[in-house]
Amino acid sequence: MKRKFITFTAALVVAACAVFSGCSCTGQQTLSFNSAFHGGTAPTNTYTETLNYKVEYSEDYLANFKKAAALDEYCTFEYADGSYRSEFRAATNDELSEIDSDVKNDERVNTQPIYKITTNFSVNLTLSTLNGETLDYTHPESIKTTAYIAWAGAAFAPIYTEEKSEYCMISVKDGKAEVYVVESTNQTLYNKDEYTKTLTYREYKIDEPNIDGVEFANKTDTVKYDFLTAIDNAEFIFALRGLSLEEKAETTVSVVSAAYTDPKSLKITNTQIASENMTINYVKDGDGAAITETIKYNTLEYRINSTNAAGWAQSINIQAEKAGELPNYALPLKFAKPLFAYNSGSILNMGSLVFTLTSVEINN
């Protein structure tokens, strides 16, 4: 089974490099983030933040990823019970002592707090039919990530990240669809002049779970890079909260993903400033209630920064100002994960999973 797989690295989530290909992007300039998140100041060691999202399937939320009509020839499917949770807090000394990275000892990093971000995504995929035959197969999809990162003054420098995922992939060949379960674990350790990625991967047909389908195990790559010029895909959504772009303004961010050997440069553009009426449960220090407000946001669009790269733009709505009792923490309000099937070397769009913020829990 020799295929290239495009994984959903969430922190997401969300798949900053998921639909892109392109050239290496070493030699980048040092990144700079202000922190619209937390009002521009570093959170204290006691600060915690938990964000919860509902996850729903949409055939056409993103125009570029609208479900292909041809897909119905091969399978019918639905997604249910989707959720996504992101937690942010200061890393403990015991946790950091377990990470053998010289980044945490750099003078540009060790004078600032180091934080831990964990995410947990889950959804149930049910394939009702496959190649015209009733299937009624349900599989739980999941992605869990952990990222240790420096504060904005050190360019959100990643120190260590890990991700564990399990999901289904639909592959069409010679007019017939096959469904595979993909299980992968990746870990990336950052030093100041290189990072090391270790990826363990297994794939098998849904009806052959006991057949050894390992393509590779413990594949390790060590890549040279310039310190403070790249972030990890596991912190990508969080890092977008640290960008302040005027409408129509743009910047580039170099992102490291387990799916690629070298970092990929993404162009990020604030395409519009808009607003949406939302109901969010806001809890601060254990006290809170549901808030319904019209929330102003920046629509940040991102795509590979290359004229000859494949792929389409994705976008995320980031809170732009205070809304009633809800402070402006540059909250990610809504974003989507595109879904794909593979058809003899090309791609069939399957629609998107749409993530919508439902609750914010803050403790100071």
What phi and psi, each to the nearest 5 degrees, are found at residue 352? -145, 155
Q: Tell me, what DSSP letter sits at residue 96? A: H
Task: List the one residue out of 40, 44, 12 whose CA is nearest residue 238.
Answer: 12
Top mean-pLDDT range of 50-54, 60-64, 170-174, 205-209: 50-54
Q: What is the pLDDT of residues 151-197, one digit of tens each?
A: 998 999 999 999 999 999 999 988 899 999 999 999 999 999 999 99
pTM of the model: 0.92
* Strand ranges in the chain using DSSP code E only, listed in sequence order: 48-58, 75-90, 114-130, 133-150, 158-173, 176-190, 194-205, 216-224, 230-232, 250-256, 264-284, 287-304, 314-319, 332-343, 346-363
DSSP code string of 311-340: ---EEEEEE-S-BTTB-----EEEEEEEEE
Work out the percent of the chain whose per-residue pLDDT is above 70. Answer: 88
* Residue 249, pLDDT above cutoff 80: yes
Task: Using the structure block, give the residue that is written with the tokens 């039919």.
Answer: 129
- pLDDT, tens digit (0-9, with 9 covering 90-100), for 283-293: 999 999 999 99
Residue 212 pLDDT: 62
Task: Categorize the per-residue pLDDT at 9 as very low, low, confident or very high, splitting at 50, 70 and 90.
Answer: very low
Is it the case that residue 26 has pLDDT exceeding 70?
A: no
User: pLDDT (tens digit, 9 = 90+) per residue, 252-276?
Assistant: 999 999 888 889 999 999 999 999 9
Is 155 strand, coil or helix?
Answer: coil
